[in-house]
Amino acid sequence: MDISKLDMTEHANRGAQLQVLHPVNKTPIEGMIITLLGTDSTLYRQRFAAWRQKFINTNNVPGINDAEEQAMECRAACTVNWKGMERDGKPYECTPQNVRELYSNPGYSWLVEQVDAFIQDRSNFFVIADGS
C-alpha cells in the first residue's frame, strides 16, 4: 500500500462533518452539522505545541484550568463552520466568539463531548478515493 494514502494530517486538514446528536435520545438533530478539523490537523498541532511551549518557557506545570483552556483553544480552532444552529429563535453564526461562548457554556457540555470525540477519531477524517 502506498504509505502516502495514510497521511493523517492531510486527511484531518480537509475537515469532516459532525452530525450533532440529541443529548438525551442520541438521534440526529436535523440540519445541525459542525464542520471540524481533526487532532492530526496542522492547526490543532500548532495550537497544542504553542500551549506546551508556554509552560516549557516559564518552567511552570500546567494546572487543570490551563488544560481546560488549552482544550477550548484547540476545539475552537478545529471548528471550521456550523449550520442549522439557532439561538433564541435567530440564526447563530459560527464566529470565533460564538464558538468559544457555546463550548464554554456548561449547559452544552453534551455538545463539547461530541465535538471532542469526533475530532479525536481518525476514522471520521479518513477517506480513500480509490477504495484502497
Q: What is the pLDDT of residues 61-71, one digit of tens each?
A: 766 676 687 78
Residue 59 confidence (pLDDT): 67
User: Mean pLDDT throughout 67-89?
Assistant: 90
> Is 50 exceeded by the pLDDT of residue 74?
yes
Residues 6+ apart with CB under 8 A from 80: 15, 35, 36, 37
Please state, for a pLDDT cut of 70, what percent of the chain lies above it: 88
User: Mean pLDDT throughout 92-117?
Assistant: 96
Beta-strand (E) ranges in 61-131?
Answer: 79-83, 86-87, 90-91
Q: Which of 29-33, 56-60, 70-74, 116-120 has the lowest mean pLDDT?
A: 56-60
Q: What are phi and psi of 66, to 5 degrees?
A: -65, -45
Residue in 1, 14, 48 with CA at minimum distance from that of residue 122: 14
Q: How far is CA 126 from CA 25, 55, 63, 115, in A?
A: 27, 33, 33, 17
Q: What are phi and psi of 92, to 5 degrees?
A: -110, 100
Residue 128 confidence (pLDDT): 56
Residue 130 confidence (pLDDT): 46
In the block, residue with C-alpha cell 500548532: 46
Residue 62 confidence (pLDDT): 64
C-alpha cell at 66: 490551563
Residue in 129, 128, 119 with CA at minimum distance from that of residue 15: 119
Rounded to the nearest integer, the mean pLDDT of the chain is 88
